[in-house]
Amino acid sequence: MLILNKTTGVFSKPSRRKPYEFLRSFNFHPGKLFLHKLVLGIETSCDDTAAAVVDETGNVLGEAIHSQTEVHLKTGGIVPPVAQQLHRENIQRIVQEALSASKVSPSELSAIATTVKPGLALSLGVGLSFSLQLVDQLKKPFIPIHHMEAHALTIRLLNKVEFPFLVLLISGGHCLLALVRGVSDFLLLGKSLDIAPGDMLDKVARRLSLIKHPECFTMSGGKAIEHLAKQGNKLHFAIKPPMQRAKNCDFSFSGLQHVIDKIIMQKEKEEGLQRGQVLSSAAHVAAAVQHTTACHVAERTHRAILFCQQRRLLSPSNAVLVVSGGVASNLYIRKALEIVTNATQCTLLCPPPRLCTDNGIMIAWNGIERLRAGVGVLHNTEGIRYEPKCPLGVDISEEVGEAAIRVPQLKMEI
């Protein structure tokens, strides 16, 4: 955990002059009146530099994003110092583009909201440093945002979802199930005990050298797996979903990755290929790993729904499961979850794909939610910290495990 102050030197800050000149570049007609609260959201927790202006009715007035995907594809993964440098190079332009598109003068903002936890330390630092200078220049309230809370509440920007609801957050860096009882009130039911599903799928894609596949070379690892899986047989390899004996809501993906690695090595031997060459059976591997991941995620989510229903933590007549995060854009995994929600009389809601991945809109909206609730709005930013690792809510996963709920087997015919 790092404290940001004038003497830390943990990360270099842009000169104080830059934000001042940047703010002076806005020249909007005076007298324009905004009747609603307006929040600028800034997101730099991983490898996307994003910003957006959102009002309290959910209107997205302006947004901008710079993706680093192409750069990190070449290095085979995210290199934190590279991500940090790209954030530094792009953050001022992205914030300026979002504000310009919104036709909102910086002085008209109600607050500035920025991701401060969890994420890559070097990336978080860039967003926080820039935001604190804006806050200082504009004399506006600052709203520090928990990245996973923002993902969880994004659905309320688009749908009238009342508390409580269940959320499954699945991405390249996270995998968790939580009950959302309020803007800052979360009960953690289960989480990944090792790596996240998106990370695992990316590693399998790299191991399969899908960047060399003619149909996949421009895609991220997860997208390449989903695309290629359509051409493969999900049952070609006999792979059991992880943690079948553990009657809790935790996840595990490292064991599955190890099993897939062994399969790839065996197929390379059989086909007489060197590591780095694309297998003729790559589509079968992609289909198998995607199907096994979907079954594992669906089973753990099924147990979470049953737990909440038994404990009367969800509305018996209007239970909602929200699925968000980058992996939530995988349509195969969504279909597996649809089978679960149909069997449990729940409503499945997913933000559109562009709001499932990291974006500035979800940060600005979380700022709006907190501003309306009067929760976590700071008028003094002295000693504000960014936290690369930070749990979500109150952990009741042990209680879930002790309940040892048996999950009926569902046919995953997708």
Could you read off the pLDDT of 271-289 as tens digits, one per residue? 999 999 999 999 999 999 9
Q: What is the pLDDT of residue 69?
A: 73
> Residue 376 region, left (φ>0) first, then alpha (ψ -120 to 50), else beta?
left
Q: Are 279 and 314 in contact (CB under 8 A)?
A: no
CATH code of 97's domain = 3.30.420.40
Q: In which domain, by residue range, is 299 found? A: 165-350+394-403
In a domain, 414, yes or no: no
- Judge whether 361 lies within some domain: yes
CA distance 201 to 170: 12
C-beta of residue 103 within 8 angstroms of C-beta of residue 133? no
Give me the torsion for CA of 309, 310, 313, 316, rounded to 10°.
40
More confident residue, 2 or 290: 290
Amino acid 317: pLDDT: 86
Is the pLDDT reported for residue 17 higher than 50? no
Residue 108 DSSP symbol: G
Distance CA(60)–CA(355), nearest Å, equals 12
Nearest to 349 by CA among 329, 321, 330, 328: 321
Per-residue pLDDT, 284:
98
The CA-atom distances, in angstroms, between 190 and each of 56, 201, 233 are 32, 20, 30
Q: Specify whether 364 is located in the same domain as 336.
A: no
Residue 7 domain flag? no
What is the number of H-type helices and E-type strands within the chain?
Answer: 14, 13
Q: Are 214 and 282 in the same domain? A: yes
Is 187 domain-assigned?
Answer: yes
Whether 389 maps to a domain, the answer reads no
22-31, 71-80, 156-165: range with lowest mean pLDDT: 22-31
* Whether residues 302 and 173 fall in one domain: yes
Average pLDDT over residues 293-317: 96
Do 48 and 100 sit in the same domain of this protein? Answer: yes
CA distance 323 to 366: 17
Same domain, 115 and 74: yes
Residue 21 within a domain = no
Which amino acid makes up residue 177? L
Residues 205 and 138 in one domain: no
What's the number of domains the chain is made of? 2
Lowest mean pLDDT among 67-76, 183-192, 260-269, 378-387: 67-76
Does residue 25 sit within a domain? no
pLDDT score of 64: 97
pLDDT tens digits, one per residue of 328-374? 989 999 999 999 999 999 999 999 989 988 999 999 999 999 999 99
Does residue 314 share a domain with residue 236? Answer: yes
pLDDT (tens digit per residue) in 163-173? 999 999 998 88
Q: What's the distance, Cα to Cα, between the start and end of the chain in Å? A: 43
Asked whether residue 291 is domain-assigned, the answer is yes
Q: Are residues 302 and 244 in the same domain?
A: yes
Residues 153 and 215 in one domain: no
**pLDDT surpassing 70 at residue 252:** yes
